[in-house]
Amino acid sequence: MNQPPLPVSATETRNAASATIDSLSPLQIVRLMNAEDQYVIDAVAREELAIARAIDVIAERFASGGRLIYVGAGTSGRLGVLDASECPPTFNTPPEMVVGLIAGGRHALTRAIEGAEDDAQAAVSELQALHVTDRDVVMGIATSGRTPYVLAAIEYACSIGAFTIGFACNQGSAVAKVAELMIAPIVGPEVITGSTRLKAGTATKLVLNMLTTGAMVRIGKTYGNLMVDLRATNDKLRDRAERIVADLTNLPQPQSAELLNHCGGEVKTAIVAALRDVSPDEARRLLSQCAGHLRATLHGTP
């Protein structure tokens, strides 16, 4: 028996503005795409309350030892994996704190895996392999709002008590019906019909940026806008760490570098050791008393 056709979603409809894109000059294509991208900022802004709520929940789960697990297929999955992979060097988090799952596994990061997004059981198996618990947050990213791999992940996560967040770029999506919290920036039709790596992908990247950055700020991974918990894994990051210590302690950069070495490369430890005139071990103890928040350690302010 033939299945009825699926309703056409906003991300699959044709964009009148780009109907003749194949007859435009390169400059006209650039202007057209730039004009269309302006809609993305406004669409994300309309979801600010849901995004802020998500940040609060993620930060709470992080503080109690929970994790953030992104689940997606295709572009959505790749963006989740990308955001997760950027957290350890930026915020010195363990790799398991923010995890990205993509339908089809690692191979799907660089090439399309046919049918992977329809494999609902794979999503459940992968979450079970991660031993997801009710302390975790599982975020299903599906710009269409109906990807079986994502829907199955959210349904399973709900069944074990994990907090679930849905992301889609269509209203009234299937994801919205199963997730506890929904973020749905409606960006409208793509410049190339159905190519959700464009406006929908940009909206996804913007929201994921906000979620992990906001949550990391809330749990004390920054001091002002300085990444005081960064992991100095290359020359650029070592230089940045030295400059941060120099900036906050008023030490010359050579002395900041020496202090950092003495503190095992830990930026916050070095800053507390210098400003409170204590040993690295005592600096770590003071930071621990304030749950790692540098501002609270230095100034007693929450």
Instruction: Give the pLDDT confidence score for residue 11 in this predicted structure.
Output: 83
pLDDT of the residue at 12 = 86
> Which residue of the set 12, 36, 114, 117 is catalytic?
117
Q: Which two tokens stand for residue 81?
A: 């994996």
Residue where the block lists tokens 């791999």:
149
Please report the DSSP string for 172-188 in residue order. T-HHHHH-SEEE-----
Task: For the domain made up of 235-299, give the CATH fold.
Answer: Helicase, Ruva Protein; domain 3 (1.10.8)
Active-site hit among 12, 36, 60, 86: 86
Domain with CATH 3.40.50.10490 in the chain: 24-218
182: part of which helix (H) or strand (E)?
strand 181-183
Query: Which residues of the chain form CATH 1.10.8.1080?
Result: 235-299
Tens digits of per-residue pLDDT, 31-85? 999 999 999 999 999 999 999 999 999 999 999 999 999 999 999 999 999 999 9
pLDDT at 287: 96
Write down the CATH superfamily of domain 24-218: Glucose-6-phosphate isomerase like protein; domain 1 (3.40.50.10490)
Q: Is the pLDDT confidence value at 3 over 90?
A: no
Catalytic site includes residue 126: no
* Residue 12 annotated as catalytic: no
pTM for this entry: 0.91
Compute CA 215 distance to the chain's CA centroid, rounded to the nearest angstrom: 10
The contacts of residue 222 (CB under 8 Å, 6+ apart) are 216, 228, 229
pLDDT, tens digit, 9 for 90 and up, residues 102-160: 999 999 999 888 789 999 999 999 999 999 999 999 999 999 999 999 999 999 999 99
Can you count the helices (H) and strands (E) in the chain? 12, 5
For 215-268, write each residue's pLDDT tens digit. 999 999 999 999 999 888 889 989 999 999 999 999 999 999 999 999 999 999
Dist CA 296 CA 289 (whole Å)? 9
The percent of residues above 70 in pLDDT, for the chain, comes to 97
- Which tokens is 157 given? 């996560």
